[in-house]
């Protein structure tokens, strides 16, 4: 009897359960049993998990999160980590692993693969920043949630002539902020790939305030840094450390804009009442049911990962390429980050007004 293990690592992501279902269903066609490790690599290190049945995975593509749990445990942080993984696999008689995760989880998978362990990677992140795949599942759901939120913020911001700074997830890249911001008509989108100065930001808010619209919505990715970040004086914390704008990004940016607007002599006396509000969307973007696109992409990636297992074709990452699902190079996927390209950001910038 052939057997494999499956794990979900890193932040949870809508579409994970669709992948698990796809792997279990495809493996079942060849009589391969699948052991679901609990809580990512931690479950592999501790040999903790359970055998997944077809019954258990039926219809789970409709549910958010992951039925086997996740964690940010790093196998490589323990010098004996790879040996522990090999031992667990030996004890459970597993011929290989399917690791579903982002750059950290897949980085471990790649290392283990080089050490001779049979691994297949499945790219997962709402941030959409993994290369070698056109899209990662979860991104579409997260962007739709952020878009809905920004849609709603327009009326309240407009009613009070306020500036609202909406912080979206995206630690290294601005895919969600840009996708949601462009779709929901944010007046400015700030992302790590294209830093802007504080003056550039506040002058847009000022321009809008002087026009009839008066209010501004700014979508900002959590990894955004000001082009002149070091020159902004946010004071010191209780330990005397310089406060960085990245800490409490939306709040800091919002406070800075409010202060600059209130003190601008060109804006007239009314501007001293100008208000800004920060909104941090946070984990709301990762929660709840996946949209149709992510259910289907997750399913197709899972079925493909199962197919690679059936064919003993290990050492790859499954990926979307155009309309096809392929086996891509795992090494490239974990070493090159997929950033928002200039053409996309420039097109969106037409609407920053």
Catalytic center residues? 127
Cβ 137 to ligand F6P shortest distance, Å = 13
CA distance linking residue 17 with residue 199, whole number of Å: 45
CA distance linking residue 272 with residue 235, whole number of Å: 22
Q: Are 201 and 219 in contact (CB under 8 A)?
A: no
CA distance linking residue 209 with residue 194, whole number of Å: 24
Q: Are 92 and 37 in contact (CB under 8 A)?
A: no
Closer CB to ligand F6P, 33 or 222, in the complex: 222
Cβ 11 to ligand F6P shortest distance, Å = 4
Cβ 286 to ligand F6P shortest distance, Å = 6
Strand arrangement, sheet containing 163-168: 188-190, 216-221, 163-168, 276-280
Cβ 297 to ligand F6P shortest distance, Å = 17
SS3 3: strand
CA distance linking residue 275 with residue 263, whole number of Å: 12
DSSP 241-276: PBPPTTTTHHHHHHHHHHHHHHT-GGG-GGGGG--E
Q: Which residue is nearest to ligand F6P (CB)?
A: 169
Closer CB to ligand F6P, 27 or 333, in the complex: 333
Closer CB to ligand F6P, 39 or 222, in the complex: 222
Instruction: Name residue 220's beta-bridge partners.
Output: 167, 190
Closer CB to ligand F6P, 14 or 306, in the complex: 14
Closer CB to ligand F6P, 64 or 170, in the complex: 170
Q: Are 19 and 63 in contact (CB under 8 A)?
A: no
User: Where on the chain is the footprint of ligand F6P (CB under 6 A)?
Assistant: 11, 102, 125-127, 169-171, 222, 286
Cβ 141 to ligand F6P shortest distance, Å = 12
CA distance linking residue 347 with residue 3, whole number of Å: 49
């Amino acid at each position: 009897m052939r057997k494999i293990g499956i794990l979900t690592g890193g932040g949870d992501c809508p579409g994970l359960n669709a992948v698990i279902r796809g792997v279990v269903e495809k493996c079942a066609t060849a009589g391969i049993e699948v052991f679901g490790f609990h809580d990512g690599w931690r479950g592999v290190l501790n040999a903790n998990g359970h055998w997944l049945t077809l019954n258990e995975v039926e219809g789970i593509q409709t549910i958010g999160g992951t039925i086997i749990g996740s964690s940010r445990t790093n196998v490589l942080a323990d010098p004996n980590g790879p040996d522990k993984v090999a031992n667990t696999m030996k004890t459970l008689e597993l011929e290989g692993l399917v690791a579903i995760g982002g750059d950290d989880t897949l980085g471990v998978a790649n290392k283990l693969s080089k050490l001779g362990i049979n691994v297949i990677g499945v790219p997962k992140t709402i941030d959409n920043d993994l290369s070698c795949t056109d899209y990662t599942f979860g991104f579409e759901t997260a962007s739709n949630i952020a878009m809905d939120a920004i849609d709603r913020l327009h009326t309240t911001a407009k009613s009070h002539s306020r500036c609202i700074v909406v912080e979206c997830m995206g630690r290294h890249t601005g895919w969600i902020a840009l996708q949601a911001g462009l779709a929901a008509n944010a007046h400015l989108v700030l992302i790590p790939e294209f830093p802007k100065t504080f003056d550039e930001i506040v002058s847009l808010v000022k321009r809008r305030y002087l026009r009839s619209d008066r209010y501004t919505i700014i979508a900002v990715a959590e990894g955004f840094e000001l082009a002149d970040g070091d020159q902004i004086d946010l004071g010191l914390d209780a330990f005397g450390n310089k406060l960085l704008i990245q800490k409490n990004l939306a709040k800091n940016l919002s406070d800075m804009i409010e202060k600059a607007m209130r003190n601008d002599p060109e804006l007239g006396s009314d501007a001293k009442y100008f208000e800004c509000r920060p909104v941090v969307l946070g984990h709301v973007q990762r929660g709840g049911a996946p949209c149709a696109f992510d259910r289907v992409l997750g399913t197709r990636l899972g079925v493909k990962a199962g197919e690679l297992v059936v064919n003993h074709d290990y050492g790859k990452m499954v990926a979307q390429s155009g309309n096809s699902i392929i086996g891509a190079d795992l090494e490239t996927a974990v070493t090159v980050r997929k950033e928002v390209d200039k053409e996309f950001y420039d097109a969106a910038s037409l609407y920053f007004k």
